[in-house]
Amino acid sequence: MLTTEHLTAEQLYATLKNIKVGGTVCHYSLKKCAEFVPIINEINELKQEQNAVILAHSYVSPEIVYGVADFVGDSYQLSKDAMTTDAQKIIFAAVRFMGETAQILNPEKEVLIPGLLDGCTLADSINAEEVKKLRAQFPNHTFVCYINTTAEVKAECDVCVTSANVYDIVQKIPNNQIYFLPDKLMGKNLVMEMHRRGVKKNIQYHEGTCYVHEEYEPSQIYEIRMEHPQVKVVSHPECRPEVCEASDFVGSTSQMLDYMLKTDAKDFLMLTECGLSARLQVEFPDKRLVGSCTLCRYMKSNSLLDILRVLKNPSDRDRVFLSEETRLKAHKCIEAMFHYTQG
Ligand code: SF4
């Protein structure tokens, strides 16, 4: 990533000029880069002065990813990356529940969230009280939560999973009765995958959805395949089962990038947030994107100016606060994931 102290507009433009996704939001001119550069340089100086580290989810704007981020990836990997640094302050450019995961794993560090929108359609679909009621309704089920949940929801569940390990962990859980939350579409994909693997599980799931991935339809894939017969379609397990079925590869954001790197194919349709498409255009310029992508309004509520603001003058709202009781219970849920992935 470009985290030199004194970046020039020409350097930033050279990195970002190939990005053509998400309408005008992610199109870059030399003039636009010249406006970003003084803010980027000020952030990078403050970061060093304050022993701070900036984590950026792949879905935030490219000027954050390539201008100021120390680590880029998915929420789980980023939270683990934060554990490897001696930085005392973490600026997490993503959504609040991802900052909470960083706080759960890094209790001695200060975690700040520059994004202006707190929740998202998926995480907001369930709260701790609703999980408690479901537990009373399904007392014999193991409660499995996706990492895209708040800390208070994780605190009420047994095992946390990511999009990369959900299938393997659910297969390993010794209980046949599973309640999966909050993503309905990932829950349906989970049921189908267990069936494909011949694993007998009774899986109930909650009704939440990620509005970014929910909007894709198989018809989009068929149309693109007619125009580009060689295209490889990659999708995320938060997409509808019919979409996943019609795709060449389904995986987490890091697994998608790995797949595209390893395959000889040139043309890709990426059914996920535009930030990942932008990373493809910057990091794999010999690959070609076809079709469109979708912007997540929650992820895109992070800006360079807000990162600068939380470094200079953070408010209480920008900080992640978790009670020690919630943090410890949520930590146990995440530790159960480590147990299944290491075992
Ligand atoms: S892409 Fe946006 S809406 Fe979907 S789970 Fe991530 S933060 Fe939530």
Residues 112 and 237 in one domain: no
Smallest CA-to-CA distance from 323 within 111, 87, 103 is with 103
Distance 297 CA to ligand 1 centre (A): 8
Q: Which atom of ligand 1 is nearest to the CA of 272?
A: 1
Range of the domain at 168: 127-211+323-342
Q: Which atom of ligand 1 is nearest to the CA of 213?
A: 4
Q: Per the structure, how many domains does the chain have?
A: 3
For residue 97 and ligand 1, the question of a CB distance below 6 A is answered with no
Does residue 188 fall inside a structural domain?
yes
Torsion of CA 18, 22, 23, 29, to 10 degrees: -30
Residues 38 and 112 in one domain: yes
The share of the chain scoring above pLDDT 90, in percent, equals: 88
Does residue 282 fall inside a structural domain?
yes
Does residue 328 fall inside a structural domain?
yes
Does residue 76 fall inside a structural domain?
yes
- Name the packing angle between helices 274-283 and 253-262 (round to 10°): 30
Residues 71 and 100 in one domain: yes
The C-alpha atoms of residue 19 and residue 241 are separated, in whole angstroms, by: 29
For residue 211 and ligand 1, the question of a CB distance below 6 A is answered with yes
Residues 276 and 258 in one domain: yes
Per residue in 234-292, pLDDT (tens digit) is: 999 999 999 999 999 999 998 999 999 999 999 999 999 999 999 999 999 999 999 88
Per residue in 31-61, pLDDT (tens digit) is: 999 999 999 999 999 999 999 999 999 999 9
Query: What's the confidence (pLDDT) of residue 2?
Result: 52
For residue 122 and ligand 1, the question of a CB distance below 6 A is answered with yes
Residues 90 and 167 in one domain: no
For residue 210 and ligand 1, the question of a CB distance below 6 A is answered with yes
Give the residue whose CA is nearest to atom 4 of ligand 1.
210
Tokens representing 111?
């975690």
Distance 105 CA to ligand 1 centre (A): 21
Residues 114 and 157 in one domain: no
Q: Which of 97, 272, 273 to mutate to test the pocket of ligand 1 (most atoms within 8 A of CB)?
A: 273
Distance 241 CA to ligand 1 centre (A): 18
Structure pTM? 0.94
Per residue in 173-232, pLDDT (tens digit) is: 999 999 999 999 999 999 999 999 999 999 999 999 999 999 999 999 999 999 999 999
CATH number, domain at 57? 3.40.50.10800
Residues 30 and 157 in one domain: no
